[in-house]
Amino acid sequence: MNPRVRVAVIGTGWWATATHIPALLEAPEVDLVALCDHNTERVQAAANAFGIARTYTDHRALLAEERPDAVVVATTHATHFMVANDCLTAGAHLLIEKPMTLFAADARALVTHAEQCGRAIVIGYPWNYLPHVRQVQARIASGTLGPIQLVQCAFNSYNADLLSGKDRSDHPGAYTVHGPGDVYSRPEHSGGGHGHLQMTHAAGLLCAVTGLRISRVQAYMANHGLPLDLVDAMLVEFQGGALGTVSGTSNGFLPKSTLSLGCARGSVVMDLFSATTIIKAVDTDVEVLPPADAPDTRFAPLRNLIAVARGLEGPIAHGEIGWRAVELLDAAYRSATTDGTSITVEELYPPD
């Protein structure tokens, strides 16, 4: 067991300054060795706010000079692959914020690289650490409910202002240090809109709980006057024969996050926002999972990274879950940009 872990944070935007950096500073077994951001003003503002002495604007220089045991990659979506790949080469365990990458081929490459380097990847999916999620994941894996036949997944939230380029910085106390600016309205930074910003949570949950992998996806997306997608609707065929719908909006004035599974010998209905889960198996009474105490899940992926780096446990929302979620979203965006053409998983990967 490693008694202490040397951690660096690459990307000092709003989520890193609101969540990752404060949590690292509170962890007694962690030495937060340095911060990095290509934006000099942003990284210095974060360093000043938290009293961090060492800063970098080049992540490769940080990796070479600091040699961290673990790295939090909280850069813009489009840079995740490049930065994470360099971190693995430098020998660091990783927490990669969601989405893991924008493209399935890049996600696969990171999983392969991590295996070759003997390093672990944790994806920033807080819901995957909830007790109910872990219980349903185990129940599905046990086979007692039978093969999954139907998946219904929905995630609605309100982020239309972020997708329009307004980051809420004019709201008093909105951010610890600074907001994201207009990054979520710019495809060169974020890829897509609601899909890459929010539906990635639902995709990561779906892939973790079910263990399913897509076979093909047909999708439609609507921007409604915004630079990126506001509303997403996907029809999914999974390997093994299950069918599903995955949908959501960033104009959801009533937040919703649900996952319903129809299996050969039972059903599951999960509501993440109300923290309720109902299971019904053949010849059994309806089972309502009891409320479960859970710490603030915002910090769960980071705690997992620290434990992984110390050799205490394996990654929970691991790299393959992130990869499978990227396959779903990559196929959906390709389908939506080709008028709903059906996209197979094989089409996501260039020929060898």
pLDDT at 197 over 90: yes
Which value, to the nearest 10 degrees, does the dihedral of the CA atoms of residues 328, 152, 233, 210 take? -10
Q: For the chain, what's the residue count? A: 352
Helices (H), the chain: 14-15, 21-26, 40-50, 59-66, 80-89, 104-117, 131-142, 160-163, 187-190, 194, 200-210, 300-309, 319-336
Backbone torsions φ then ψ of 278, nearest 5 degrees: -120, 135
- Average pLDDT rounded to a whole number, residues 287-294: 85
Exposed/middle/buried for residue 315 (C-beta within 10 Å: 0-12, 13-18, 19+): buried
pLDDT at 2 over 90: no
Domain ranges of the chain: 5-125, 127-292+318-348
pLDDT at 295: 66
The better pLDDT of the pair 315, 172 is held by 315
Q: How far, rounded to the nearest angstrom, does the alpha carbon of residue 230 sit from its chain's CA centroid?
A: 18
3-state secondary structure of 319: helix
Lowest-pLDDT range of 27-36, 173-182, 225-234, 342-351: 173-182
Tokens of 233: 């609707």
User: The sheet that has 30-36: what strands, in order across it?
Assistant: 55-56, 30-36, 5-10, 70-73, 93-96, 121-123
Share of the chain above pLDDT 90, in %: 93
- Average pLDDT rounded to a whole number, residues 95-102: 98
pLDDT at 113: 98
The CATH number assigned to the domain with range 127-292+318-348 reads 3.30.360.10
Of the pLDDT bands very low, low, confident and very high (cuts 50, 70, 90), residue 184 is: very high
Backbone torsions φ then ψ of 96, nearest 5 degrees: -105, 125
Q: What is the pLDDT of residues 230-259, one digit of tens each?
A: 999 999 999 999 999 999 999 999 999 999
- Average pLDDT rounded to a whole number, residues 126-148: 96
**What is the residue-wise DSSP string for 76-91?**
-GGGHHHHHHHHHHTT
pLDDT at 170 over 90: no
Of the pLDDT bands very low, low, confident and very high (cuts 50, 70, 90), residue 11 is: very high
pLDDT at 275 over 70: yes
Exposed/middle/buried for residue 4 (C-beta within 10 Å: 0-12, 13-18, 19+): middle
Of the pLDDT bands very low, low, confident and very high (cuts 50, 70, 90), residue 174 is: confident
Structural contact between residues 62 and 8, judged by C-beta atoms closer than 8 angstroms: yes
pLDDT at 294 over 80: no
Of the pLDDT bands very low, low, confident and very high (cuts 50, 70, 90), residue 68 is: very high
- Average pLDDT rounded to a whole number, residues 189-207: 98
Rg (C-alpha) for the chain, rounded Å, is 20
CATH superfamily, region 5-125: NAD(P)-binding Rossmann-like Domain (3.40.50.720)
Strands 231-238 and 214-222: antiparallel
Average pLDDT, the chain: 96
Lowest-pLDDT range of 67-71, 147-151, 168-172: 168-172
pLDDT at 171: 85
Q: What is the pLDDT of residues 307-344, one digit of tens each?
A: 999 999 999 999 999 999 999 999 999 999 999 999 99
Residue of 198, 191, 157, 161 lying closest to 179 (CA atoms): 161
How far apart CA 42 and CA 47 sit, in angstroms, is 9
pLDDT at 293 over 90: no
- Average pLDDT rounded to a whole number, residues 19-47: 97
How far apart CA 232 and CA 20 sit, in angstroms, is 29
Lowest-pLDDT range of 40-49, 174-183, 317-326: 174-183
